[in-house]
């Protein structure tokens, strides 16, 4: 079945947006990102114009996204799809269901205590190790995370990013998250559009490409995305126009 058409005769879009490096600039500390004050209102308007078919797809938790983007609180796949909010229904992840990971997080804190600038970001059902502030410890940090991932076994996987490595449940990923959302109303039958900036977004691009959608990479680097924008500022500049049009248009 072809995607539905909107009143302009164009294909209706389902828009999926990464957060860090896409809607906000990457910063040294995960808690120090700066959100443009106009962004929550723009997202709310764009979501309305897309008939609700807008979701954040991020490594952040849904609660963290809500905190940065208040009062906007739309659909979201958090922790790389480990948790979801769709149509007001929230499907959380229970950290208590990951006892081996929880023990590993405690050991990570102990292991990096003597590495100034290496940050443990405990997300409950996943854990990320950041070394942007300590590039000299990059190899040590990677080795530490690879060792923990190997110890945890097949139930978990390791995901590399920009000066970060994250251990997540094996079933997680932005590609599966987007595929799950595309099976739900109001996303079903629309053209998927996913915009992201990092290695963690590439499997999302793959799913969108397979569905005949539009994948957009923010910034440089090798990618399978079909289009690019130079930086988050360029995306923020076009979001209001998309809200007016009611569709994604890279022009």
State the pairing for strand pair 127-130/119-122: antiparallel
| Predicted TM-score (pTM) of this structure | 0.87
Q: What is the dihedral of CA 160, 100, 155, 143, to 10 degrees?
A: 30
Q: What is the pLDDT of residue 18?
A: 98
Residue 194 and residue 174: Cα distance in Å, rounded?
10
**Mean pLDDT for the chain?**
93
> Is the separation of the CB atoms in 84 and 139 below 8 Å?
no
Residues 6+ apart with CB under 8 A from 118: 112, 129, 130, 131, 133, 134, 137, 141
18 as an active site residue: the answer is yes
- For the stretch 185-213, pLDDT in tens is 999 999 999 999 998 899 999 999 999 99
Residue 22 and residue 96: Cα distance in Å, rounded?
31
Task: Please state, in angstroms and as integers, the Cα–Cα distance from residue 114 to each residue in 13, 117, 118, 244, following that order.
Answer: 48, 9, 9, 51
Going along the chain from its start, the domains and CATH numbers come out as 13-93+172-245 (3.40.50.1000), 95-169 (3.30.70.1020)
Evaluate if residue 179 carries a pLDDT over 80: yes
- Average pLDDT rounded to a whole number, residues 10-26: 91
Q: What is the pLDDT of residue 6?
A: 45
> Is the separation of the CB atoms in 129 and 144 below 8 Å?
yes
Evaluate if residue 9 carries a pLDDT over 60: no
At 30, is the pLDDT very low, low, confident or very high (cuts 50, 70, 90)?
confident
Which of 8, 12, 13, 18 is catalytic? The answer is 18
At 7, is the pLDDT very low, low, confident or very high (cuts 50, 70, 90)?
very low
């Amino acid at each position: 079945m072809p995607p539905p058409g909107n009143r302009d005769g164009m294909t209706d879009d389902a828009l999926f947006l990464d957060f860090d490096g896409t809607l906000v600039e990457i910063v040294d500390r995960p808690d120090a990102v700066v959100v443009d004050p106009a962004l929550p209102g723009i997202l709310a308007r764009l979501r309305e114009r897309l008939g609700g078919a807008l979701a954040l797809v991020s490594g952040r938790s849904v609660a963290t996204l809500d905190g940065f983007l208040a009062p906007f609180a739309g659909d979201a796949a958090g922790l790389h799809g480990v948790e979801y909010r769709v149509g007001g229904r929230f499907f959380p992840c229970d950290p208590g269901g990951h006892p081996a990971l929880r023990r590993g997080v405690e050991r990570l804190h102990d292991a990096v205590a003597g590495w100034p600038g290496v940050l443990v970001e405990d997300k409950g059902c996943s854990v990320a190790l950041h070394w942007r502030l300590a590039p000299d410890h990059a190899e040590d940090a990677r080795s530490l995370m690879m060792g923990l991932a190997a110890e945890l076994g097949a139930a978990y996987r390791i995901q590399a990013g920009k000066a970060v490595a994250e251990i997540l449940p094996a079933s997680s990923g932005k590609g599966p998250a987007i595929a799950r959302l595309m099976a739900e109303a109001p996303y079903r039958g629309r053209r998927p559009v996913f915009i992201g900036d990092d290695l963690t977004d590439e499997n999302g691009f793959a799913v969108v490409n397979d569905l005949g959608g539009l994948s957009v990479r923010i910034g440089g680097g090798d990618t399978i995305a079909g289009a690019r924008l130079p930086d988050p500022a360029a995306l923020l500049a076009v979001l209001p126009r998309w809200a007016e049009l009611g569709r994604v248009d890279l022009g």
